[in-house]
Structure 1
Amino acid sequence: MKNLIRIVVLFLVFTSCEKTEDDTNNDCTSNCTVLRGRFVTLNNFPVSNIRVSLKYKIGGGELGGGSTRKIVNIESDQYGNFNKDFFIKDRELGNSAGGYFDVEIDDSKIDINKYIRTNNLIGGSSTDIGFAIYSITRRDTIIDETFYIPIKAFIKVNLNNFVSQRAGDLFEVRTLYPFGPKVGLNTFLNSEYSTGFSGYGNWIATNLNNRLNVFVAEGEKNIIRVIRIKNGIGSSQDFEITVPPNNTLELTYNF
């Protein structure tokens, strides 16, 4: 019993050594690194109120003892821009530094009825658009990222004649669309931006005939992906659509 108590005490000591330092209110005046960028939607219109945070993290292993330094905590302004100068400490600079920089994006304050977010509550989620930087070698580095936040539009999708022939059979629809960081050229979607996705276990056939309310990106090339697992054999089909404003699109697929 005494040995068990010692183990518990040692565990609490090690895990309690994990440190958090908050420097988000500090202003950098010299030798600064810059975190900046922009959030835009359809037609390059700005998106405000998206929070961007930057932390420096050092892992502590299984017993804890790591550390986190909070460095930047800002929101995109009315023009969709975010910009913050910050100072990198000596122990955080260079390839031999023991941790990494973690950029987190929080879009939970933007209107879920207007935009496709990283967490849409219904229809699954798109990819997390935060990112890690494993090494910064110069303090005069500029970290510059632009992100695309799609306008959310809904279409009707009918998944008909679903008759499960064996356990595990599936009839599902997923959507893929421009979303997230600017990558230069996304040939899959003919877009400057990365690919977001929704569905994945949310828009599925549960009856013989099913009428689903599925969201897509307005004004953009979208891929409607229809997944079938029929008698244990899986298949996938992609259908390209562009969704205009005030659309009344209705698509029908048979199992």
Structure 2
Amino acid sequence: MTIRAVVWGENIHERTNEVVAGIYPEGMHTTIANALNADKAISASTATLEQPEHGLPVARLAETDVLVWWGHKDHGAVADEVVERVAKRVWEGMGLIVLHSGHFSKIFKRLMGTPCTLKWREAGERERLWVTSPSHPIAEGVGDYFELENEEMYGEQFAVPEPLETVFISWFQGGEVFRSGLTYRRGAGNVFYFRPGHETYPTYHDATVQKVLRNAVKWAVNPQGSNHAILNAPNVPVEKALEPIEERGPKLHAHGEAGFR
């Protein structure tokens, strides 16, 4: 089965900044989608902030296996309704890949439950990304490390929960280090945060970065599909208990009544 991916881009800098427009004339989201579509196992389309419902209506998300998210300038413009819609799909099993400054996106902070803060510096430094989990599918074919000649620095401490796995750690010319490839599971959904991708540098044209993104999309897919029941909280009647029991003492809810949320 072909993996159905949607690349979501804020698409502001590409329209307002000459440097970014020169690097990504069709938008970063298009460059990323084209890189994903180079793999026949992936079918990637795009969505952007300015579209109705930010390009992510309920029906489209229901047909999305993996959502790739890039945002920076206007995280606050993303409607809370859409954020909750995306979170629901992640809990059900949709994969989510959050890129670079998406660490401050509403959806990433919603799923992490932490401030997601970090140190940063915009100086075009060399970034060396070390593979710390060489057997991980996301790192397949990368080697021991790869380098980006110009990138924005992100430095620890990164205020996120302890990940399931750390796939990459970055070193920058100024001396800082950063956990640049982190995996999580939220509900039935796989989540990957990947650090590189500052808009004034051609990061998403880099062949190794594109390889990592394709690997990540394949990793993020839940092979069991959507688990809609994960959002249910059923009131199990006494007669359906696995072992025979008798009710003892008063109870708050009536037979079959839904619980409070």
The normalised TM-score by structure 2 is 0.22
Q: Which structure is higher in helix share? A: 2
Q: Which structure is higher in strand share? A: 1
The normalised TM-score by structure 1 is 0.23
